[in-house]
Structure 1
């Protein structure tokens, strides 16, 4: 009987002392509370968040969709923070244990706060989209990314401070490391500054057709911190360092408002002066009366020069459309009209030729 009494006393002694002086019953209560909040976390994910997503999809504004999507992570993390805090509140810790648990609670709350701030930055991009006249969409994307990185660094510094890790010496060390990196990564910073200049000056944007003489021609797909991705017309992908766009002239073909046509119409030397004048006048009248051409830029149809085997008639005009494919149709119609005018006036086109004279002795 004494054996059972001793075992009973030992059992309740272990039960009361528990782990590190914490009653096992309190531990079980704490685990139960934390488990309840984990269940609540699942309810948030499957019910509340999905409900909010369905409500936000009914509106035409994308801001609420982005906000709900951004808050999914923090919303699922909040029950863990609350569960751990309430569970630890019902446990009796020693002095050392209280300090450690308090630090953990502060860490979880700090992570939650900075996570919320980090996620809120994304919906801000939709608010900034109204500044398209001042800032390009790509530059706004860079600003958002930079803010996210800054918030992450501040959050990490706050967590390290909670655990007694001084960030001052770390920052000083990073400063020295940064100087060393800067000396060895001058090209990286040159490309970064060039990329910022490209965005600030709005030289081009994603989707534009650009030409860098002697370097690249294609459609811009991505503007990064160091380089820009361009899809060439053969569908190959080119990654161009940003300094190329700062040091070379960039032609943004997508911004073309009037496509130029500059032709030299070659007529035979047996064309009479009357025919020349008639052909010139009819071509000029066709261009001036057609809606295919811009009259504000200027039209020139003039006899330009006497070439080796032809009389050259200059035709210079600009299309009214800013579309490249439309400009090809305009060129085609103009070419057909010129041929009809030349043939209608009994004139002929010249072609390169040489006359050979044989002298008889």
Structure 2
């Protein structure tokens, strides 16, 4: 009785081991697991031996391009080693029907993923090639080109993977046509901003790092020009995200494109100054600007130092000149030195700066008003 039970139980175990999972006995499954583990270990050895050797060779070359390419394709090469293991295991199993199709599609998908993964990563070292286009295109447009290339690689890889599994991409795109139209109608602002961003880059209105002012919107330094908006850092360090259409609908001043920086002053001199004193002040200011290398000279830029107007409380001298530097800090320093020089010129001429004042002249007292009290003069006495 016991022997019969033991024999039946052993028969159940043998049948279970033989039937396995989905008709594949456990012996073959263990062999498949061993194949996959072997190739996974082989992947590690490949990374430690082959890739390390190739990297060491690339470091000895004169360019960094090969180093970047090797780093870009390394993950894909490791995946290919595992793919070979999956392919070997599939060949060993020799499945027929739906199982064989799944294994075949899985291997092809892994190859496609490895290929497009490598292609996506290679776009990074290709930036060195794209950078050469900056002589023709702007740096921002080159960045857009790189981003568009990466998006294209991702979409192409996705379409290839769907095609491998029998999902037709063309009918899928056609089926999404009406949905795309609806999305396009709802995303008109997105496309407007995209076109506006392209126009910014094509026309080279400004670039990253430029100091710009958008009338009624913001003034600051451009940090990023995106597909939809541009990030501008205000001088208080707060970031402002401006839709690209604002640059198409508003006046944009690019201060970084200045060739010179202007100083425009009105210098008020006292009315008590004589004609000769006014002439001396004017000539002294003009001589200082003309003899100072920090200022641009005519005919490169206009320069005016003229007695301009008789104001309410002063005789105004107009100073209109340009510095060679456009750097704000340097411009402030030059302007400070100019102010000190003008102070010395005015004082040296024996006159002074005017300030707002009002004089009241009283011709007669109104009727009934008390007489003006005049204190008696003190008479000195001898001791």
Q: Please confirm whether the aligned pair reaches a TM-score higher than 0.5, indicating the same fold.
A: yes
**Which of 301, 304, 309 in structure 1 is aligned with 2:308?**
304
Between the aligned partners of 1:53 and 1:62, the Cα distance in structure 2 is 11
Q: Which has the larger radius of gyration?
A: 2
Total equivalences in the alignment: 361
Q: TM-score, normalised by structure 1?
A: 0.90
Q: TM-score, normalised by structure 2?
A: 0.85
2:343 is the alignment partner of 1:317:
no
Q: Is the 8 A contact 1:222 1:229 kept in 2?
A: yes
After superposition, the CA RMSD in angstroms is 2.6
1:175-194 aligned within 5 A: 175-194=177-196
SS in structure 2 of the partner of residue 348 of structure 1: coil
Equivalent residue, structure 2, for 1:80: 82
Equivalent residue, structure 1, for 2:115: 113
Equivalent residue, structure 2, for 1:230: 232
Q: Is the 8 A contact 1:226 1:242 kept in 2?
A: yes
4+ residue segments displaced more than 6 Å: 1-14, 57-60
Q: Is the 8 A contact 1:300 1:317 kept in 2?
A: yes
**Which of 250, 260, 278 in structure 2 is aligned with 1:276?**
278
Between the aligned partners of 2:275 and 2:152, the Cα distance in structure 1 is 76
2:339 is the alignment partner of 1:330:
no
SS in structure 1 of the partner of residue 99 of structure 2: helix
Between the aligned partners of 1:158 and 1:348, the Cα distance in structure 2 is 83
**Which of 121, 124, 127 in structure 2 is aligned with 1:125?**
127
State the Cα deviation string for residues 186-219 of structure 1 (Å, max 9, x = none): 1111111111111222222222221112210112
State the Cα deviation string for residues 101-134 of structure 1 (Å, max 9, x = none): 2122111111212222222122211211111122
Greater mean alpha carbon deviation, residues 85-94 or residues 257-266: 85-94
Between the aligned partners of 1:230 and 1:271, the Cα distance in structure 2 is 49
2:364 is the alignment partner of 1:360:
yes
How far did 1:95 drift? Answer: 3.5
SS in structure 2 of the partner of residue 271 of structure 1: coil
Structure 1 residues 267 and 171, CA, compared in 2 at 3 Å: closer, same or farther?
A: same
Q: Is the 8 A contact 1:22 1:93 kept in 2?
A: no
SS in structure 1 of the partner of residue 123 of structure 2: helix
Q: Is the 8 A contact 2:77 2:114 kept in 1?
A: no
Between the aligned partners of 1:53 and 1:353, the Cα distance in structure 2 is 80
How far did 1:52 drift? Answer: 5.6
1:1-361 aligned within 5 A: 18-22=20-24, 24-45=26-47, 49=51, 61-295=63-297, 296-361=300-365
Between the aligned partners of 2:362 and 2:58, the Cα distance in structure 1 is 90
Unaligned residue ranges in structure 2 (runs of 5+): 366-383
